[in-house]
Amino acid sequence: MLPKMKHFHVVLKSLASRSKKIGSSQRNKKHRGRKMKRLNATMRRLKVETNEIRKEQENIKRGQMEVRGKFEAIQFECEQLRKETDLITKQSLNTQLRLALMFQILRARETNDLSKAATLTQVLRALIPKQNNK
């Protein structure tokens, strides 16, 4: 009877070890399932974050394009103002030159230097059309 008992215990032990293996396999499947759920949740979260980042980058790109357009408009206006300033400066210089000539003509007439007054008047008459053409 002893050998049969021993055989019975061996069979029980092998069954017990198999049941442990089956149990551990099921635990591994459950553990794997939990891991997969966590992984899937992480993947979904990352996809959402990626989409948010993409939208933010698009908004930044649009903002940069708007700023670039505004900057170019400001540069254009600055160039126009520079041209207008140059024109006003030239006109001011021409006006000052004419006024100086007129003042010299008046002085020459006051001193009865009519030849000098006539020469300055001719210079002024020649100067006016040149300045108007510019």
**Is the pLDDT higher at 101 or at 1?**
101
Q: Which helix (H) or strand (E) holds 15?
A: helix 2-110
The answer to whether position 1 is within a domain reads: no
Tell me: the pLDDT tens digits for 83-96? Answer: 999 999 999 999 99
Alpha-carbon torsion 60, 66, 72, 74, what sign? Answer: negative
pLDDT for the residue numbered 28 = 73
Q: Does the residue 107 lie in any domain?
A: yes
Q: Is residue 6 part of a domain?
A: no
Report the predicted TM-score, pTM, of the whole model to 2 decimal places: 0.53
In-domain check, residue 10: no
Q: What is d(CA 124, CA 101) in angstroms, rounded to the nearest whole number?
A: 7
Residue 70 lies in domain: 17-133
